[in-house]
Structure 1
Amino acid sequence: MEVSIIIVSYNCKSFVFECIDSIKKLTELITYEVIVVDNNSSDGIEDDVVIRYPDILFFKNDYNGGFGYANNIGLAHAKGKYVFFLNPDTLLLNNVCQTLYDYLELNNNVAALGCRVYDENLNNQMSYGKFPSVIQYLLEVFPVKWVSDNYKNKISSEGYLTEDLDLDVEFISGADLFVRKSVLDHIGGFDENFFLFFEEVDLCMRIKNAGYQIRITSQAKLIHLMGQTMQVSFQKFKWFEESRYVFLRKYYSKKFIVFSKSIFIFRYLFLWLKYLDKEWHKRAVFIYKLK
């Protein structure tokens, strides 16, 4: 087996089916398996997925343990030389698996590889990002006009591949993370302390710390219907901030964490005073209470 494709599902059955259809339509010249791990959905996916795709492996969890938890279950059953963690709201645009496989076969020190990502209108979408930094957070909260867009893009937590090239990056979007199975066996899978968000950033940090390269290639292309499987809500904000501080506590100093909390509390209090919207006050209070 050359590639194991792992898809985590949570109440997004139609997206999962469209994703699998795109895999089956465009993947060739390579042996692969599809593993779907469902986080205790209520959409009845277990009644349809095996009938529709009898050749896939399907696992249904008895509770929602988070994105990393479900991916680790898939990883435990993966037989491929490479593992492709793929979001359910993605659609392949070319023979992505074979392209990524061939690339890593020729580049031994690259441990993880990502694609050029587009939205549904084929506009460039987030493909990669930079690890947190003081300057990054300052520019996120205070978007001063005299700083060039090019510089902002270089240090941003969200990077967009806008040209046909290969690029060394710090982390790859969790929507399409193609990793050597041997590296995962060495460093471990996802840290399940992250329920949602930052789990791919943490995994890439550990890959980097182990001495490997991480890269994006425009040769592989896909669509990411970003956010389509989850509505914007205060709960989503809470998951993001909780995960952000799990990550910061794991790798950064206490001084950086205090700085981070202070600057984002200031941001949300400013927005609260500006718009008199209690949502911003809730966010400031939530971050203040994070331990």
Structure 2
Amino acid sequence: MSCDVSILVVSYNTKEETLACIESVYDQTKEVSFELIVLDNDSKDGSAEAIEKKFPRLTLVKSKKNLGFAGANNVAAEQATGEYVLLLNPDTVILDQAIDRIVKFARSNSEPGVYGGRTLFEDMSLNKDSCHGAPTPWSLLSMGIGFSSMFSRSALFNPEGLGAWQRDSFREVDCITGCFLLLERSLWKELGGFDLDYFMYGEDTDLCLRARKHGVKCFVYPDAQLIHHGGRSEKVRADKMIRLFRAKHQLFQKHWKPHSVKFGANMLVCWAFTRYLALRTLGVANASYRQRASEWYSVFSRRSEYCDIPKRMA
């Protein structure tokens, strides 16, 4: 039996957050029909058992290994029957019928699109990670030399961060992030879902870039709001940044012209090194900055893990 929207949640060692997310979906989704498909990525914290006990009506897929974000969503989507597919992170909480709102808005649009909402932190301050600009050589240069941090409110020098925009107006963007991403199931199938070359990070950007090449636009609909805590399943900052950088390098290789790929890789290394230098300077009298400087130096020193630049003396 089909429904309006199939909601896909991938859980990995985030038991309490996942339970709260699921509860918010049931509490806040009142006007569109939905099915909830949760794939547990071989969690070791009792997530699958707790989900099964508290929410026996949803579809729970228990993976015997960690499939990553891309692989897990692809597997979950195979069971979807909805007109739309909504990717939803387990560390989110739906507010003010956000799913009802975004599905109705998408249906009112005469052309297919990829849609996202407005994400907030738990204290209701803005979490800008709901969307971003596409990576370009210019955006990587701005990051590599530190302009994106020094002039974070500038759309020119922080194009991936979209400058000072507060995500409070309807707007076309390059990319919607996978924490809250809605599209027609037919479009998901046409695109082939996520590219399995991406394990975690980058797969949503790749999906949006491929959609845009098909003439499909990406939009932020600010009336669909939710809390996104962010980073709960990835505890080590250096490891997280290396995953992010590795995914960015994959995006360069897939979507950029060959002569630009090496430039992008060099800018990733510069990005890590300039953050290290800035934080080390600030850390002369601040232990917190010294700790962060150490983490960024780790990212710099492990550069061979995220790009094909050989190690040199630091």
Alignment counterpart, residue 46 of structure 1, candidates 48, 63, 69: 48
Instruction: Say if 2:121 is the partner of 1:119.
Output: yes
User: Which residue in 1 is equivalent to 2:57?
Assistant: 55
Distance 1:159 1:56, change over 3 A: farther
Matched, 1:283 2:302: yes
**Residues 63-74 of structure 1 aligned to structure 2 (within 5 Å):** 63-74=65-76
Greater CA drift, 225-234 or 270-279: 270-279
| TM-score, reference length from structure 1 | 0.91
**CA 1:3–1:159: 2 relative to 1, 3 Å:** farther
2:189 corresponds in structure 1 to: 185
State the AA in 1 paired with 2:137: V
User: Counterparts in 2 of 1:195-234, with a 5 A limit?
Assistant: 195-234=199-238
Deviation track 1:6-57 (CA, whole Å, cap 9, x = no partner) reads: 0001111111100011111111011101110011111122222122111100
| Cα distance in structure 2, aligned partners of 1:132 and 1:77 | 32
Partners of 2:269 and 2:96 lie apart in 1 by 43
Find the partner of 2:145 among 122, 131, 142: 142
Q: Give 1:92 shift.
A: 0.7
Number of residue equivalences: 291
TM-score normalised according to structure 2 size: 0.85
Mapped partners of 1:105, 1:280: distance in 2? 43
Structure 2 residues not aligned, in runs of 5+? 281-292
Cα distance between partner residues in 2 of 1:125 and 1:160? 12
Native 8 Å contact 1:82 1:181 kept in 2: yes
Q: Is residue 122–residue 229 contact of structure 2 (8 Å, CA) maintained in 1?
A: yes
Where do 5+ consecutive residues of structure 1 fail to align?
A: none
The aligned amino acid for 1:221 is Q
CA gap 1:134/1:58 in 2 versus in 1, 3 angstroms:
same
Task: Give CA-to-partner distance per residue, 1:179-234, whole Å, 9 cap, x none.
Answer: 11111121110111101101000011111111111100111100100112321343
Q: For the structure 1 residues 234 and 143, does the alpha-carbon distance in structure 2 shift closer, same or farther, using more than 3 Å as the test?
A: closer
The share of aligned pairs that are identical, in percent, is: 26
State the SS of the aligned residue for 2:155: helix
- Aligned: 1:254 with 2:258: yes
Contact 2:4–2:83 (CA under 8 A) maintained in structure 1: yes
Q: Spell out, residue by residue over 1:99-118, the C-alpha distance to the aligned partner (whole angstroms, 9 max, x if none).
A: 11111111022421101111
Conservation of the 8 A alpha-carbon contact between 1:100 and 1:220: yes
SS at match of 1:174: coil
**2:155/2:164 contact within 8 Å kept:** no
Q: Which moved more, 1:153-162 or 1:123-132?
A: 153-162
Distance between the aligned counterparts of 1:159 and 1:43, measured in 2?
38
